[in-house]
Amino acid sequence: MTTAEATTTAQNLHQLAWVFDLNKCIGCQTCSVACKVLWTRDDGEKHQWWCSVNTMPGLGTPKAWEGMGGGVDMATGKPRPGHQPTREEFGGGFDYNYYEVFYGGTAGKAHLEPQAPRENRWAMNWDEDQGAGEWPNSYYFYLPRMCNHCSNPVCMQACPTGALSKRGDGLVLRDEEVCMGDRFCMEACPYKKISFNYDRHVGQQCIGCFPRIEAGVAPACVRQCPGRAVFIGYLDDKSSKVNQLINEWKVALPLHAEAGTGPNVYYVPPLSPYRLNPDMSIDYETPRIPAEYLESLFGREVHGALATLKGEMDRVREGGKSELLSTLIAYHWQELLGPFTVDPATLTPNGNGNSQ
Amino acid sequence: MKVAQLATEPAELTNPGSPAWAEVPAIEVSLKPVALAAQPVEYIRETWAGRPYGQTSRATVSAATARDRLYVRVEWEDDEEPNREFQDAAAVVFDGTGGDVATLGSAAHPVALWYWEHGRQAPLHLISRGPGVVSKDSTGAPTAAAVLADKRWAVVFSGPAGGVGQRRIGVALWNGSNDERGGLAAVTPEWLPLESERGV
């Protein structure tokens, strides 16, 4: 299948989309852990984080992933070469000295430490809260990432065995029985959100919690978010919050859209305080997070999105109402879940459950 | 190539270093890279253009039957440092439908592979419909044992003999140090017809 054919096919699909509000993400990793305990506890999955939250600016997971290539050359439509992230670049999956600390009679002397060489240690969110800038103008924000279930999935096109496919709801899934572990998908993915299971010799990535989706339950990363920062819904459903945030208000933007794969995870970009001048007066012209940095992540549309958010905030401060801010505040929790409102605690073995 | 018919115990033949193999005639075969143009997806053709692969040009192959099983021993030089991501691998390729060994079969004419990869728990029986276009077949699973010594791999595959005289085989090798996998392999460009030989 050529890139153009894949794009045409994808455009005809029903498409699930996620929106992460970066102004509400507190970097608590509840989404990451909710995913981890559901899906990556088997052999060869210890180091895998299908959902991960990293401090930005930062090197991320896998380390320095933004410089690893992949995706599509927008000018030629041809796939761009990419680097396959290595086990070391993902890092993590450490063993710890639990026995020594808990049972070794070393109270006050030993502390938990990864059992790996100190040099070149890395793991998901290893550079937590380092960010960038100098006091008093240092800054950072959190960026949750997962498979983008792209409309133009280059992973699928790069796979010689046909292990990857795009479902009618837009999820990109892998048949592990068909996967040979060739890892061309990992090279081709510009987001580097495919992991490799070295025990089972297969690639693995976010499955969009499809068994939950099929039972009407929102994915774990969405439902478990304590900050009410994640929305899910169908992009082509005009009434969905994701469609409104992305297409009507235009405040939710894809990450690195220039990679050409049509990602379906969107982000409400982070507002930031203004910079302080050397005399500690406020520079009302300059946000602390450099505009060019946000543009490098979310494209030029980020300026319009931030202006819309500021405008709506100003209106509310002046006593007005804002449907956009009400949506983002998520007074009505169920609105985050789109059509997937079934409470997983009420599911029965035959898949029935009640909305809550 | 001649296939020795032996009365040797299978346990001896499955060991690539067994003296039993010294008694079996071996041939030198030439290998060539599977053509880039034959690679099945644009991503591979684009990203491997100009990058050498399949450079293992020679291998030593010998074959024997014992107790209705076919044993194929493949030996080749590998003097590169191992790659932590991709591993060395080898396959015996079997013709079943008039397929082309040089492309590892095609959609219309698939070939079968006994596939061994260093570090994998078990060898695989694969159906190949082109370079890297493989599917796993749980029937007829082969066994394989490998030894790396003096910078040379020796792998012994075994599986059901299945009418040796009518079969023809090829050999494919993947150099893990060069990130070779899928259809990025060196392969014998022509089939090697098996010729049953009574005794050694």
Assess whether pLDDT exceeds 50 at residue A232. Answer: yes
Q: How confident is the model at residue B196, as a pLDDT?
A: 84
pLDDT confidence of residue A13: 58
* Percent residues over pLDDT 70 in chain A: 96
Distance from CA of B84 to the nearest CA of A (A): 8
Kindly state the tokens that stand for A185.
């998908």
Inter-chain contact B134–A180, Cβ cutoff 8 Å?
yes
Residues of chain A in contact with residue B181, where contact means CB-CB under 8 angstroms, are: 180-183
Q: Which residues of B lie closer than 8 Å to A, measured between beta carbons?
A: 39-44, 46-47, 84-86, 117, 120, 130-136, 179, 181-183
Handedness of CA A38, A192, A162, B138 (dihedral sign): negative
Lowest-confidence segment of A226-235, A270-279, B23-32, B191-200 by average pLDDT: B191-200
Task: Write out chain B residues lying below 8 Å of A179, CB-based.
Answer: none
CA-based nearest distance B135→chain A, Å? 6
Question: At B29, is the pLDDT very low, low, confident or very high (cuts 50, 70, 90)?
Answer: very high
Query: Cβ-count burial of B32 within 10 angstroms (0-12 exposed, 13-18 middle, 19+ buried)?
Result: middle
8 Å CB contact between A171 and A18 = no
Q: Are the Cβ atoms of B135 and A154 closer than 8 angstroms?
A: no
Task: Please tell me the predicted confidence (pLDDT) of residue A9.
Answer: 45
Task: Read off the tokens for B118.
Answer: 């260093």
Do the beta carbons of residue A249 and residue A21 sit within 8 Å?
no
Range of the domain at A31: 3-91+126-346
B contact test, residue of A88, A159, A161 with most B CBs within 10 A: A161
Q: What's the pLDDT score for residue B141? A: 84
Residue B166: the pLDDT is: 81
A160 touches chain B (CB under 8 A): yes
Mean pLDDT of A89-113: 91
Query: Is residue A20 domain-resident?
Result: yes
**Which phi and psi angles does A134 have, rounded to 5°?**
-115, 145
The beta-carbon neighbor of A157 closest among B42, B135, B181 is B42
Q: Which residue of B34, B39, B47, B136 to mutate against A (max A Cβ within 10 Å)?
A: B47
Residue pair B57/B87 in contact by the 8 Å Cβ criterion: no
Task: Please state the domain count of chain B.
Answer: 1
Dihedral sign (CA A202, A207, A209, A213): negative
A2 in contact with B, Cβ within 8 Å: yes
User: Which residue from B92, B52, B99, B48 is spatially nearest to B73, judged by alpha carbons?
Assistant: B92
Strongest mean pLDDT among A96-105, B75-84, B108-117: B108-117
Between positions 136 and 155 of A, the ones with CB within 8 A of B are: 154
Q: In chain A, how many domains are there? A: 1
With contact defined as beta carbons under 8 Å apart, do B114 and B91 qualify? yes
Condensed to tens digits (0 to 9), the pLDDT of residues A23-45 reads: 999 999 999 999 999 999 999 99
Q: Does A78 contact B42 at a Cβ distance shorter than 8 Å?
A: yes
Per-residue pLDDT tens for B41-75?
Answer: 999 999 999 999 999 999 999 999 998 899 999 99
Q: What is the pLDDT of residues B130-186, one digit of tens each?
A: 999 999 998 878 999 999 999 999 999 999 988 777 889 999 999 999 999 999 999
Predicted confidence (pLDDT) at residue A356 exceeds the cutoff of 90: no
**Residue A335 is assigned to a structural domain of this protein:** yes
pLDDT at B17: 94
Summarize pLDDT for A322-343 with one digit per residue, the tens.
Answer: 999 999 999 989 999 999 999 9
Q: How confident is the model at residue B8 (pLDDT cuts 50, 70, 90)?
A: confident
Would you call A188 an interface residue with chain B, using a CB distance cutoff of 8 Å?
yes
Token duo for residue A121: 């240690």
ipTM above 0.90, yes or no: yes
* Spatial contact of B64 and B3, defined as CB atoms under 8 Å apart: yes
Neighbouring C-alpha atoms within 13 Å toward the C-beta of A217: 20
Which pLDDT band, with edges at 50, 70 and 90, does A6 fall under?
Answer: very low
How many angstroms separate the Cα of A60 from the Cα of each of A50, A90, A127, B26, B143?
A: 13, 9, 8, 53, 42
Q: Which residues of B touch A3 (CB under 8 A)?
A: 42
Question: Is B81 exposed, middle or buried, given 0-12, 13-18 or 19+ CB atoms closer than 10 A?
Answer: exposed
Nearest to B43 among A79, A87, A177 (CB): A79
Q: Shortest Cα distance from B134 to chain A (angstroms)? A: 6
Task: Give the global pTM.
Answer: 0.93
Tell which wins on pLDDT, A351 or A199: A199
In a domain, A179, yes or no: yes
Question: Is residue A104 assigned to a domain?
Answer: no
A84 at B interface, C-beta within 8 A: yes
Of the candidates A125, A66, A65, A64, the one whose C-alpha atom is nearest the C-alpha of residue A92 is A125
Is the predicted pLDDT of residue A308 greater than 90, yes or no?
Answer: yes
* A79 and B CB contact within 8 Å: yes
Q: Give the residue from chain B lying closest to A189, CA to CA.
A: B43
Q: Residue B24 belongs to a domain with what CATH number?
A: 2.60.40.1190
Per-residue pLDDT band for B11 (boundaries 50, 70, 90) equals confident
Nearest CB to A86 within list B40, B85, B130: B85
In whole numbers, what is the pLDDT of chain A averaged over residues? 94
Alpha carbons A77 and A21: distance in angstroms, whole number: 31
With a cut of 70, say whether residue A301 has pLDDT above it.
yes
CB contacts, 8 Å: B130 with chain A: 160
Q: What is the CATH number of the domain that holds A324?
A: 3.30.70.20
User: Per mean pLDDT, which range of A86-95, A273-282, B3-12 is the poorest?
Assistant: B3-12
Q: Measured between beta carbons, which residues in chain A are less than 8 angstroms from residue B120?
A: 201
Residue A97: pLDDT band (50, 70, 90) is: very high
CB nearest B43 (choices: A87, A177, A188): A188
pLDDT exceeds 70 at position A2: no
- In B67-107, where do the E strands start and end? 69-77, 89-95
Residues of A in contact with B182 (CB under 8 A): 160-161, 180, 182, 184
Give the structural domain span for B111: 2-197
Interface check for A77 against chain B (CB to CB < 8 A): the answer is no
